[in-house]
Amino acid sequence: MVAAQLAAALRAGVRLDYAGDPQRPAFRVLPAQRSLVTALLAPATKPETQRVLRLVADYRAVLLRLFALAADAGGASVEARARVAVQDEMRLHDELGPALASMILSATEQEYAAATDSCAYCGGQH
Ligand SMILES: [Zn+2]
């Protein structure tokens, strides 16, 4: 329920800001979008919203780890770390559900590309 509401809010343009605390993303909401997060922050829902936001933060972190590993030259230690990261990615993807996970994936791809000037998947510039 919260995951679906959060996915809908992100689709409508609400942004998550990790600058303050990467473990606790904050909503960035235009005044006109305020109603999209009102239900998520209502007292009865807020604890679940915070739990899902922690999973989102974990998912973003594991994706950034995978992107950095993809840009790495390779070798056995990269492969071992990639295997662990892929396990984490699949677990968090299941917990978030496909709709929310794909919203976080595209936001994190854009964030990574903007921060590093390189492709999230091959490390190239294109
Ligand atoms: Zn590429």
Per-residue exposure over 82-112, b if at least 16 CB sit within 10 Å of its own CB, e if not: beebeebbeebbebbeeebbebbbebbeebb
The pLDDT confidence band at residue 9, using thresholds 50, 70 and 90, is very high
37: CA distance to ligand 1 center in Å?
Answer: 34
- pLDDT value at residue 97: 96
Q: Is 84 part of a structural domain of the chain?
A: yes
116: CA distance to ligand 1 center in Å?
Answer: 13
Q: Is 67 part of a structural domain of the chain?
A: yes
29: CA distance to ligand 1 center in Å?
Answer: 31
Q: Is 18 part of a structural domain of the chain?
A: yes
Structural domains in the chain (count): 1
Q: Is 122 part of a structural domain of the chain?
A: no
15: CA distance to ligand 1 center in Å?
Answer: 25
User: Out of 13-17, 25-29, 52-56, 118-122, which region has the weakest mean confidence (pLDDT)?
Assistant: 118-122
Q: Is 49 part of a structural domain of the chain?
A: yes
95: CA distance to ligand 1 center in Å?
Answer: 27
Give the model confidence (pLDDT) of 42-88 as tens digits.
999 999 999 999 999 999 999 999 999 888 877 788 888 899 999 99
Q: Is 125 part of a structural domain of the chain?
A: no
- pLDDT value at residue 101: 97
